[in-house]
Amino acid sequence: MSAKVWLIGAGPGDPELLTLKAVRALGEAEVVLIDDLVNPAVLEHCPQARVIGVGKRGGCRSTPQEFIHRLMLRYARQGKCVARLKGGDPCIFGRGSEEADWLAAHGVASEIVNGITAGLAGATACGIPLTLRGLARGVTLVTAHTQDDSSPDWAALARSGTTLVVYMGVAKLAEIQEGLLTGGMATSTPVAMIENASLPWQRECRSILGNMPQDADTFQLRSPAILVIGQVVAAAEQRDAPLALTA
């Protein structure tokens, strides 16, 4: 009989942002598959486990996703408790449900454990209240990078009245800017670009929509980074202390 696979969100980087459930699952794990973007510091919760790095730099011949699927299956079928650690939340641009479905199709049960997604953690670490009353009627998590290379409808998003939190946007700043301006978003709309959110080496670049690509260039913004676009970013500038303590 195969054992269960835990698909665990490891949060954005700060190991203290791990949930208690994630810590419990890690404590049960015999094999841990860890993604590139996961802070290895969280491995302190599974000293008993065999740890296998399965990030893009995994160095395997097959595609990383196939390789990961097969590893999970192999160990689960050996009856070993497998924990798959993914950055942020497994189901926010993280293929968590695809992996769960694939495992189910192969007769293996899995359970997804939420993690704190980078967009939420980055905003809080920079003092940005994403849905501040009167300034935003919601928040949209959106990726700039899709498998089929299509773009989100930036113009529609500009009109949504929600704070935009953009994942995987570093290489597409000019395109995002153009789409949002076309949708009528003001050039003066405040923007925060947050690199390595929640980690001690987190960096934050403040800008406005009209200067976003140039400012990111000067700042030498690098992935992983999220963009927060909307009036709520200015609310943080008026605050003395951040909403949360950073490590």
- The catalytic residues are 35, 56, 168
Q: Which range binds ligand SAH by CB under 6 A, 69-77, 102-110, 117-125, 210-218?
A: 117-125
Q: Are 168 and 176 in contact (CB under 8 A)?
A: no
Calculate helix-pair angle for 64-77, 96-105, nearest 10 degrees. Answer: 50
Q: Are 205 and 122 in contact (CB under 8 A)?
A: no
* Contact status: 93 vs ligand SAH (CB under 6 A): yes
Minimum CB–partner distance for residue 133 and ligand SAH (Å): 25
Distance of CA 88 to the CA centre of its chain: 4
Phi, psi for 6 (deg, rounded to 5): -90, 130
Q: Which range binds ligand SAH by CB under 6 A, 17-25, 55-63, 208-216, 221-229?
A: 221-229
Minimum CB–partner distance for residue 157 and ligand SAH (Å): 16
Q: Which two tokens stand for residue 108?
A: 């293996």
Q: Catalogue the E-assigned strands of 35-170.
A: 50-53, 82-86, 110-113, 139-143, 163-167
x/- site string to ligand SAH, residues 141 to 170, per CB under 6 A? Answer: --------------------------xx--
* Contact status: 12 vs ligand SAH (CB under 6 A): yes
* Contact footprint for ligand SAH (CB under 6 A): 12-13, 37, 86-89, 92-94, 117-118, 122, 167-168, 194, 196-198, 223-226
